[in-house]
């Protein structure tokens, strides 16, 4: 496999290989050996057509820790603003002897499209409301680290499932590994045929939380939202927001996840996000090892 375009194109063995490789890199990082010489002859371009904090910095750090040469491209400060196409932009970057492109783009399928038109390894860092494969990998990896395994665990994904690439990639990854998955959110923010992906819908948040081992709380994707389909923020928080009182009233102690960025006080309160039950910053930490693993494994195909 030359690209990572979505979890949809992986199998369980691929995921286990990525996790075992990430285990190795995490151990290396934890021994304070922050840099390995593995990819000294590889050049990677991170091209971002959408805003990012975690994914962009995490990929850049992962690439630098593998000793790759790195260039960063932000569409907002580029000749895209003068009308240059995606293919022309990427082919110009590749002509500078770049081997791999990590791309975030607002259009679903942008990475797949690019992979068919340019000669480089493409890593999808989030394509619109479609997929965010490295986020799903780091999420599953964090569940495995916290609970020992993903298989057999009950995971509920709460919030704006309709517009969330994190939700779709997580559903694919969790189902491949044998987790039980439910989604919970307002009916207007659930895709019509979500059950066809092997997940159950639960619109009662308390029931969903009492069922699960892990709750992955999503942000409302205001940037992709048709406002007429949406409850007000206050209504959303009342029905689907998690606060400490609700968490403490559950039958058991569950694990709280969030891909970030958090809208504090909307989908979760600060006393939940910053609680002992939250593994939100562990997810971010694990993102670097996961991205090192993905880049290392893909680079082995192009070296
Ligand atoms: N989780 C995530 O994709 O965050 P960023 O948008 O900040 O990269």
Pairing of strands 43-48, 69-74: parallel
Alpha carbon of 261 to ligand 1 centroid (Å):
6
> Would you state the pLDDT for residue 126?
98
Alpha carbon of 271 to ligand 1 centroid (Å):
21
Cα gap 247→178, rounded to integer Å: 26
Instruction: Say whether 182 sits in a helix, a strand or coil.
Output: strand
Instruction: Say whether 103 sits in a helix, a strand or coil.
Output: strand
* Segment 96-135, tens digit of pLDDT: 999 999 999 999 999 999 999 999 999 999 999 999 999 9
> Would you state the pLDDT for residue 303?
63
* Segment 218-254, tens digit of pLDDT: 998 777 776 566 678 889 999 999 999 999 999 999 9
133, 142, 261: residue to mutate for ligand 1 pocket, most atoms within 8 A of CB:
261
Instruction: Say whether 196 sits in a helix, a strand or coil.
Output: helix
Q: Which residues pair with 123 in a beta bridge?
A: 4, 102
* Residues in CB range of 262: below 8 A, 6 or more apart: 219, 268, 273, 280
Alpha carbon of 251 to ligand 1 centroid (Å):
32
> Would you state the pLDDT for residue 228?
61
Q: Is 54 in the pocket of ligand 1 (CB under 6 A)?
A: yes
Token reading at 65: 């820790």
Cα gap 175→191, rounded to integer Å: 17
Closest Cα to atom 4 of ligand 1: 54
56, 126, 279: residue to mutate for ligand 1 pocket, most atoms within 8 A of CB:
126
Instruction: Indicate the angle between helix axes 133-147 and 54-65, nearest 10 degrees.
Output: 80
* Segment 183-228, tens digit of pLDDT: 999 998 999 999 999 999 999 999 999 999 999 999 987 777 765 6
Q: Which of 193, 208, 144, 185 is nearest to 16 (CA)?
A: 144
> Would you state the pLDDT for residue 227?
58
C-alpha radius of gyration, the chain, whole number: 19
Predicted TM-score (pTM) of this structure: 0.96
Q: Is 164 in the pocket of ligand 1 (CB under 6 A)?
A: no
Token reading at 283: 């997810």
* Segment 56-100, tens digit of pLDDT: 999 999 999 999 999 999 998 899 999 999 999 999 999 999 999
* Domains annotated on the chain, with CATH: 7-131+286-302 (3.40.50.1370), 133-283 (3.40.50.1370)
Q: What is the ipTM of this complex?
A: 0.98
Token reading at 248: 């403490």
Minimum-distance ligand 1 atom for the alpha carbon of 125: 3
């Amino acid at each position: 496999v030359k690209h990572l375009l979505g979890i949809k194109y992986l199998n369980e063995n691929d995921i286990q290989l990525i996790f075992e490789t990430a285990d190795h890199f995490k151990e290396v990082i934890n021994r304070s050996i922050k840099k390995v010489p593995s990819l000294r002859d590889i050049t990677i371009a991170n091209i971002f057509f959408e805003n990012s904090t975690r994914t962009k910095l995490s990929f850049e750090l992962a690439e630098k820790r593998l000793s790759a040469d790195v260039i960063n491209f932000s569409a907002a400060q580029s000749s895209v603003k003068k009308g240059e196409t995606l293919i022309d932009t990427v082919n110009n970057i590749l002509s500078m002897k770049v081997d791999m492109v990590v791309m975030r783009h607002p259009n679903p399928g942008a990475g797949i499209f690019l992979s068919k038109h340019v000669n480089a390894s493409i890593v999808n860092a989030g394509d619109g409301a479609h997929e965010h494969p490295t986020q799903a990998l780091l999420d599953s990896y964090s569940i495995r680290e916290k609970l020992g395994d993903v298989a057999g665990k009950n995971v509920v994904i709460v919030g704006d499932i309709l517009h969330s690439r994190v939700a779709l990639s997580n559903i694919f990854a969790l189902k491949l590994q044998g987790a039980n998955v439910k989604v919970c959110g307002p009916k207007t923010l659930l895709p019509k045929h979500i059950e066809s992906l092997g997940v159950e819908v639960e619109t009662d948040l308390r029931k969903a939380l009492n069922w699960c081992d892990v709750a992955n709380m999503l942000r409302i994707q205001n940037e992709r939202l048709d406002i007429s389909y949406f409850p007000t923020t206050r209504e959303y928080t009342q029905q689907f927001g998690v606060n400490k009182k609700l968490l403490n009233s559950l039958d058991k102690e569950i694990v709280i996840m969030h891909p970030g960025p958090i809208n504090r006080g909307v989908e979760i309160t600060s006393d939940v996000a910053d609680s002992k039950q939250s593994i939100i910053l562990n997810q971010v930490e694990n993102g670097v090892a996961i991205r090192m693993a993905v880049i290392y494994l893909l680079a082995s195909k192009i070296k």
